[in-house]
Amino acid sequence: MGLDMYLTGRKYVGGSLQGDDEPFREEDGKPVDSMNLELGYWRKHRKLHGYIVNTFAKGKDECQEIPLEGDDLRTIAKAVRTNDLPHTEGCFFGDAEMDKTFSDESEEHAQQFDEAAKWLEGGNWKRTVFYQASW
């Protein structure tokens, strides 16, 4: 048990969602309108979780998808780099020792958000990014 945190990119891959005449891709004989890509994963990074929930979900923490735009992702990257993340408590959310580990890895984590912003804003197909936690 614990706080699992996912940054997911959703790429829409064809058919009417693109406004063109390309047929939908198929998987198991069924049309595929989108695919999910893992852009980031963290375990028990409670301060990062608290920052995202408080800043982009108005404090609502129900393991829901939290949509993020490119500027949002860059804002998160900056907060991670400057350690401007709030103290966050929760059942099975980790401890102060884990906070230290994440602090040592802050540049790597910030880069994941920067790369997600670039991915979101690139390409010809519609793309979305969202954060979601599970515990």
Comparing 92 with 117, which gets the higher pLDDT?
Answer: 117
Domain presence at residue 132: no
Decide if 103 is inside a domain: yes
**Interval 13-27 mean pLDDT:** 63
* Region 119-135 average pLDDT: 91
Task: Provide the number of structural domains found in the chain.
Answer: 1
Q: Which two tokens stand for residue 37?
A: 């890509």
Which residue range is the domain that position 96 belongs to? 4-125
134 pLDDT tier (thresholds 50, 70, 90): very high
When mean pLDDT is compared over 21-35, 38-52, 55-69, 104-118, the highest value belongs to 55-69
Which pair of structure tokens corresponds to residue 55?
Answer: 């800043």
Q: Provide the pLDDT for residue 17.
A: 47
- Better-predicted residue by pLDDT, 98 or 111: 111
The per-residue pLDDT of the chain, averaged, comes to: 85
The answer for residues whose C-beta is within 8 angstroms of residue 13's C-beta and 6 or more apart is 24, 25, 32, 33, 34, 35, 125
Q: Is the model's pTM score more than 0.75?
A: yes
Residue 69 is assigned to a structural domain of this protein: yes
